[in-house]
Structure 1
Amino acid sequence: MIATAVVIALHVVGIAMLLSLWRLLRGPSLPDRILALDTLYVNTIAALMLFGMHLGSAIFFEAALIIAMLGFVGTVVLSRYVLGRDIVR
């Protein structure tokens, strides 16, 4: 029962990733694309965690943590770029 719920959740997260990718490629403005990229990495974290639960492996949780840290830094850098400020101070 729980394994079925995890597989269904993986499919739903996969659809969300495809929709985020579509917005990333077709976004009307740069802030929309940055938000889509942010959403895409959050969906990737969710997919990795669900896949780790499905396989019973802890390595996927560590990979999700690394993606979360890199995604946060990337979002901050891109946001500072959009605001027109200096990226590195």
Structure 2
Amino acid sequence: MTPELIVECASVTAIAILVVALLLTVYRAVIGPTLPDRIIALDMLVGIVIGFIAVIALRTGYTLYIDIAIALGLVGFLATVAFARFILARGYVGEGEEVQAGPPVSTAAPTKGTSKAAAKTKTGKSGKSLGKEAK
């Protein structure tokens, strides 16, 4: 077997695998069912397209395609981060799941007769006060 024949067989096999992955990922992007599923599918599509570009670069020997794949990877990453921030800002993930944007808010408010130092005492796992002031 010559090296050219091995590269040819490997590239045809890689393209076949990438086509199957592309079809399955497009199915997930269209069907969903939730917005995060679609966003992950779009991120996966970017990875599959990068795979196609890499196989084409190997077959043609034109190395500029690798630079294009790197740029596409960076843009795909930024798009995924932007979508994730959109989901967090929206506060809704999917089927009845809600996400809190920002740090958790304490529901225990000091009552009218307590001092600030008493309100800042640490509690243990059992919920009992440890008696130490939080610093």
TM > 0.5: yes
Cα deviation 1:52-81 (Å, max 9, x = unaligned):
101111121111011101000000000010
Query: 1:35 offset after TM fit, Å?
Result: 0.5
1:38 is matched with: 43
- Match among 8, 11, 20 for residue 15 of structure 1: 20
What pairs up with 1:59-70 in 2 under 5 angstroms?
A: 59-70=64-75
Query: Quick check: 1:77 aligned with 2:82?
Result: yes
Higher CA-based Rg: 2
2:54 is matched with: 49
Aligned partners of 1:63, 1:22: CA distance in 2, in Å? 26
1:29 is matched with: 34
Aligned partners of 2:24, 2:67: CA distance in 1, in Å? 25
Displacement over 4 Å in runs of 4+: none
Identity %: 33
Count of residues paired in the alignment: 85
- Contiguous gaps of at least 5 residues in structure 2: 1-5, 91-135
1:5 is matched with: 10
So what's the TM-score if we normalise by structure 1?
A: 0.89
Aligned partners of 2:87, 2:73: CA distance in 1, in Å? 21
Q: Between Structure 1 and Structure 2, which shows a larger proportion of helix residues?
A: 1
Aligned partners of 1:60, 1:14: CA distance in 2, in Å? 19
Partner amino acid for 1:9?
A
Cα deviation 1:17-59 (Å, max 9, x = unaligned):
1111111111100000000001110111111001110111112
Aligned partners of 2:82, 2:47: CA distance in 1, in Å? 17
Aligned partners of 1:82, 1:76: CA distance in 2, in Å? 10
Q: Between Structure 1 and Structure 2, which shows a larger proportion of strand residues?
A: 2
Give me the CA root mean square deviation.
1.1
Query: 1:10 offset after TM fit, Å?
Result: 1.1
Indicate if the aligned counterparts of 1:10 and 1:51 stay in contact, CA closer than 8 A: no
The 3-state SS of whatever aligns with 1:23 is helix
So what's the TM-score if we normalise by structure 2?
A: 0.60
The 3-state SS of whatever aligns with 2:62 is coil
